[in-house]
Structure 1
Amino acid sequence: MKHSSKFLLAALMALAAFAAGAQEFRIGVVNIDRIFREANSAKAAQAKLEQEFGKRDKEVVDLGAQLKTLSDKFDREAPTLSETQRANRQKQLIDQDREFQRKRREFQEDLNARKNEELQQVIERANKVVKAVAETEKYDLVLQEAVYANPKHDITDKVIKALNASR
Structure 2
Amino acid sequence: MKHKFQWRRTLTAACIVLASVSGSFGAYANDIKIGVVDTERILAESAPAVRALKKIEKEFLPRDKEIKEMASQAKALQELLEKDGKTMPEADRRNKERDLANLNREYQRAQRQMREDLSLRQNDEVATLQLSASKAIQIIAEAEKYDLILPLRDLVYRSQRMDITDKVIKALADK
Aligned equivalents of 2:19, 2:108: Cα separation in 1: 69
2:49 is matched with which residue? Answer: 42
- With normalisation by structure 1, the TM-score equals 0.80
Match status 1:143 vs 2:150: yes
Preserved contact between residue 67 and residue 97 of structure 1 (Cα < 8 Å): yes
One-letter amino acid of the counterpart of residue 137, structure 1: E
Preserved contact between residue 25 and residue 140 of structure 1 (Cα < 8 Å): yes
1:54 is matched with which residue? Answer: 61
1:155 is matched with which residue? Answer: 164
2:9 is matched with which residue? Answer: none
2:94 is matched with which residue? Answer: 87
Decide whether aligned partners of structure 1 residues 82 and 19 sit closer, same or farther in structure 2, where only a CA change above 3 A counts.
Answer: farther
What do the CA deviations read for 1:69-107 (whole angstroms, capped 9, x no partner)? 322332233333454443332221111100111111222
Aligned equivalents of 1:72, 1:139: Cα separation in 2: 65
Preserved contact between residue 29 and residue 149 of structure 1 (Cα < 8 Å): no
- With normalisation by structure 2, the TM-score equals 0.77
Runs of 4+ in 1 over 6 A off after TM superposition: 10-13
What do the CA deviations read for 1:33-61 (whole angstroms, capped 9, x no partner)? 21122211111111211222211111112
What root-mean-square deviation, in Å, do the aligned CA atoms of Structure 1 and Structure 2 show? 2.3
Preserved contact between residue 67 and residue 96 of structure 1 (Cα < 8 Å): yes
Preserved contact between residue 39 and residue 160 of structure 1 (Cα < 8 Å): yes
Percent sequence identity is 38
One-letter amino acid of the counterpart of residue 132, structure 2: R
Report 1:1-167 matches (<5 A).
Answer: 14-144=21-151, 145-150=153-158, 151-165=160-174, 167=175
One-letter amino acid of the counterpart of residue 154, structure 1: D
Decide whether aligned partners of structure 1 residues 64 and 20 sit closer, same or farther in structure 2, where only a CA change above 3 A counts.
Answer: farther
What do the CA deviations read for 1:5-64 (whole angstroms, capped 9, x no partner)? xxxxx9876433333333332222211221122211111111211222211111112222
Aligned equivalents of 1:70, 1:148: Cα separation in 2: 56
1:7 is matched with which residue? Answer: none
1:5 is matched with which residue? Answer: none
Preserved contact between residue 26 and residue 140 of structure 1 (Cα < 8 Å): yes
Unaligned 5+ segments in structure 2 are 1-16
Decide whether aligned partners of structure 1 residues 28 and 90 sit closer, same or farther in structure 2, where only a CA change above 3 A counts.
Answer: same
